[in-house]
Amino acid sequence: MPSKRLVKSLVVFALAGFFVSSVGWAQTRRHDVSVSYGLVTMDQVTDVLESVLTVVITLGTFSKQNTEFSGAPFFTYHYSPNGRFGLGFAVGGYTSKGDLDYSDSAVGTFKETSYVGAFELDYRWIMTSSFQLYSGLGLGVRVRKGTYVVEGEETESTSKALPTYHLNLIGFRFGKKIGLFGEFGAGYKGVFNVGLNAQF
């Protein structure tokens, strides 16, 4: 009987120590600042999945060919009141450029630049002094500005606001106050996103 009480006391003490240490570490993560670079954004995935990409402007309907994409640099700030949950914002963007085709002939060029602003939420599944495992979600607006040049015609510029999202399925961070991180997900930050993070 005394041994059962001793085991229960040890288990309770160990659990209490774990939660207290988690809370203590979580309180050091109030401000979370990141700079990152992502690959394969939402636009790139859409272009890969669709067989015929078109752009409709006043000059006509053209298909996009030989498209080149930039990476997606982002700045992110999250505030964490309890360490595990974080709420904040992200700003960044990316570009795409290529040829405009009409009836299988190249007749011009295009360049589209997307500016993204979004609110984000994250949750830390695992938090230690040098490793974190987490997931997150972002919802926001993407402003796409396009410039389209067709031979023999005037250059046309357009601007359009579109809803956007990012789902961070799993992220991992190594380091203490300053750390390196990588994320796998889908959306405006790309399928794979890496960067530098500071927590204080």
pLDDT tens for residues 151-167?
888 888 999 999 999 99
* Percent residues over pLDDT 70 in the chain: 82
pLDDT exceeds cutoff 60 at 2: no
Q: What does the alpha-carbon distance between residue 139 and residue 46 come to, in Å, rounded to a whole number?
A: 18
Neighbouring-strand partners of residue 132 = 127, 173
Check: CB of residue 88 under 8 Å from CB of residue 75.
no
Q: Which domain CATH number covers 180? A: 2.40.160.20
Residue 92 is predicted with a pLDDT of 97
Roughly how many angstroms between the first and final C-alpha of the chain, as a whole number? 47
pLDDT exceeds cutoff 80 at 89: yes
Number of domains, the chain: 1
Q: What does the alpha-carbon distance between residue 117 and residue 143 come to, in Å, rounded to a whole number?
A: 9
Range of the domain at 155: 2-199
Q: What does the alpha-carbon distance between residue 84 and residue 79 come to, in Å, rounded to a whole number?
A: 10
Residue 60 is predicted with a pLDDT of 75
Contacts of 59 (CB under 8 A, 6+ apart): 148, 150, 153, 154, 156
SS3 (DSSP) at 41: coil
If you write DSSP's letter for every residue of 151-173 in order, what string do you get?
Answer: TTS--EEEEEEEEEEEEEEEEEE
pLDDT band at 25 (very low <50, low <70, confident <90, very high): very low
Average pLDDT score over the chain: 84
38-61 burial, b at 16+ Cβ within 10 Å, e below that, comes to bbbbbbbeeeeeeeebebebebee
Contacts of 49 (CB under 8 A, 6+ apart): none
Q: What does the alpha-carbon distance between residue 87 and residue 162 come to, in Å, rounded to a whole number?
A: 22
pLDDT per residue over 106-138, tens digit each?
888 999 999 999 999 999 999 998 999 999 999
Residue 104 is predicted with a pLDDT of 77
pLDDT band at 42 (very low <50, low <70, confident <90, very high): confident
